[in-house]
Amino acid sequence: MKNFVVKTIANAGALAVAIWLIGNITLEGGSTGRKILTLILVALIFGLVNFLVKPLVQLLTFPLFILTLGLITLVVNALMLLLTSWLAGVFDLSFHVEGFWTAVLGALIISVVSWALNMVLPDED
């Protein structure tokens, strides 16, 4: 359970950095508390998308993974971010990623920040 909370916090932090750095990734809302709650909910959706959908997409794109020497992973991560943005819209959360190239840059930032936060935060169960 503690590992789940740590990963959710890392995802929320990584999403927050991407929102802060990239103007076309937006999180709107009234108060700071509302924004934090929305960010945590989006991080939960992002974690579920990465847990449920990403392995299937990686399996289907495995030949492209070999062909591109792993660079397709960035495209897959961008698609997972776009899917998270769409699902956030379905759940009426004020998180939006505008465009594919914004998602690619956002996925790169989220990957780096998430990796760094997971190295610093404890991951015991």
The pLDDT value given to residue 125? 53
The average pLDDT across 70-82 equals 90
Domain ranges of the chain: 1-120
- Mind listing the pLDDT tens digit for each residue in 31-46? 888 889 999 999 999 9
Distance of CA 34 to the CA centre of its chain: 19
The pLDDT value given to residue 1? 63
Residue 25: its H or E element: strand 25-27
